[in-house]
């Protein structure tokens, strides 16, 4: 059996779909299933059993010898949440429990870390283990992910294979439920549909013009291919950046969304909300040398390709992956 935590969420549900496409149906899906909106992500998916997040650790303790692989994708991902206790409980300590049982039962483990661990990028965006202790995330979410990465790197008892995936800006189908935390592509599509125009955040950094803030946007279909690659090939264990390797501007993302919708470009700018302004990343770009050196050869969607596929094949018809 394969376990996927966060299986009703954005990346997790896409991963269940990808596993199904590969003929894998003996999947244990784990999540907090009270959000009815997330249930749409699971329609048509095939799996063996669903287990509530709060019951999973006890289940794993009893059934770990039946599990062949764990994708621990589930996490509290709200970057505007400031309660450290919530992140310690759901992201840090919960992940430690999963790690311990994966190690005990010899289960390979892939877990979701985050590019939020890199903070303002003072130490670059290199997934080198030596910089992990020096990183300064900008919020409690990033701290929780970096705290787990730091803890993992100190462990002597480990799963037979493990990989911590530092997801950059992932966008694509099955994120309809994410609200404020959804990708800019989804927000842009909805705003353009509603008003015919798009408002982006104004730059509050003299080094960047409005709309020229840059992020490493990666299409979720590429993320899923990387997850499967790691399961099948099991290269050297460690932290891996999961980004496209190319930073693009928010303005480029917006223009491509307008084009995919066959709309005239109409962009204006508003102030970045005060509660996130001093914690805003103006540039991210994944160094993906380690992933490529590990043998990943599938390539990546360009921003143009990813946005067009997402808009035309999913958003316009409200479809799911």
Q: Is the per-residue pLDDT at 73 higher than 60? A: yes
Q: Could you tell me if 117 and 262 lie in one domain?
A: no
235 with 269, same domain? no
Same domain assignment for residues 58 and 183: no
Domain count, the chain: 2
Question: Is it the case that residue 89 has pLDDT exceeding 80?
Answer: no
Distance, CA of 73 to CA of 224 (rounded, Å): 11
Q: What are phi and psi of 19, to 5 degrees?
A: -65, -40
Same domain, 13 and 47: yes
**Is the model's pTM score more than 0.85?**
yes
- CATH number reported for the structural domain that contains residue 189 in this entry: 3.90.25.10
Judgement on whether residues 203 and 130 belong to the same structural domain of the protein = no
**Residue indicated by tokens 């705290």:** 147
> Based on the domain organization, do 268 and 177 belong to the same domain?
yes
Range(s) of the domain holding residue 37: 2-170+218-245+286-300
31 and 97 within one domain? yes
- 141 catalytic? Reply is yes
**77 has pLDDT over 70:** no
Backbone angles phi, psi at 292, to 5 degrees: -65, -40
Q: Which of 96, 136, 178, 199 is catalytic?
A: 178
The answer to whether 134 and 118 are in contact (CB under 8 A) is: no
What is the average pLDDT across 84-96?
82
- 25 catalytic? Reply is no
pLDDT at position 87, please? 73
What's the rounded Cα separation, in Å, for the pair 173 and 179?
Answer: 14
pLDDT tens, position by position, 177-195: 998 889 999 999 999 999 9
**Residues 74 and 134 grouped into a single domain:** yes
Judge whether 214 and 283 are in contact, CB under 8 Å: yes
255 and 225 co-located in one domain: no
Nearest to 305 by CA among 203, 219, 189: 219
Residue 82: predicted pLDDT: 61
The model's pLDDT over 243-276, given as tens digits with 9 standing for 90+, comes to: 999 999 999 999 999 999 999 999 999 999 888 8
* Residue 174 confidence (pLDDT) above 80: yes
Q: Do 266 and 134 fall within a single domain?
A: no
One of 94, 101, 141, 176 is an active-site residue; which one? 141
Q: Are residues 18 and 155 in the same domain?
A: yes
Regarding whether 53 and 13 lie in a shared domain, the answer is: yes
């Amino acid at each position: 059996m394969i376990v996927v935590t966060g299986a009703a969420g954005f990346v997790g549900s896409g991963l269940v779909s990808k596993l199904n496409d590969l003929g894998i149906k003996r999947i244990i899906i784990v999540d907090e299933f009270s959000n009815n909106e997330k249930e749409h992500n699971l329609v048509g998916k095939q799996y063996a059993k669903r287990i509530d997040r709060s019951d999973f650790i006890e289940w794993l303790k009893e059934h770990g010898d039946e599990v062949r692989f764990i994708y621990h994708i589930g996490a509290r991902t709200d970057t505007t949440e400031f309660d450290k206790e919530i992140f310690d409980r759901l992201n840090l300590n919960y992940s430690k429990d999963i790690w311990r049982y994966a190690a005990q039962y010899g289960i390979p483990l892939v877990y979701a870390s985050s590019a939020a661990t890199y903070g303002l990028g003072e130490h670059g965006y290199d997934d080198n283990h030596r910089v992990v202790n020096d990183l300064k995330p900008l919020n409690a979410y990033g701290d929780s992910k970096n705290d787990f990465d730091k803890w993992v790197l100190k462990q002597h008892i480990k799963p037979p294979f493990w990989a911590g995936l530092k997801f950059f800006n992932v966008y694509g189908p099955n994120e309809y439920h994410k609200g404020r935390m959804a990708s800019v592509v989804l927000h842009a599509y909805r705003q353009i549909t509603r008003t015919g125009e798009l408002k982006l955040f104004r730059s509050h950094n003299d080094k960047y013009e409005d709309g020229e803030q840059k992020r490493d946007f990666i299409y979720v279909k590429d993320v899923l291919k990387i997850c499967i690659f790691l399961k099948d090939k099991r290269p050297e264990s460690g932290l891996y950046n999961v980004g496209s390797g190319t930073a693009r501007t928010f303005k480029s993302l917006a223009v491509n969304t307008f084009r995919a919708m066959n709309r005239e470009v109409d962009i204006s700018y508003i102030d970045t909300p005060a509660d996130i302004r001093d914690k805003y990343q103006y540039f991210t770009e994944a160094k993906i040398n380690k992933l490529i050196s590990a043998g990943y050869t599938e390539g990546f969607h360009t921003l143009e390709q990813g946005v067009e596929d997402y808009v035309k094949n999913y958003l316009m018809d409200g479809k799911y992956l």
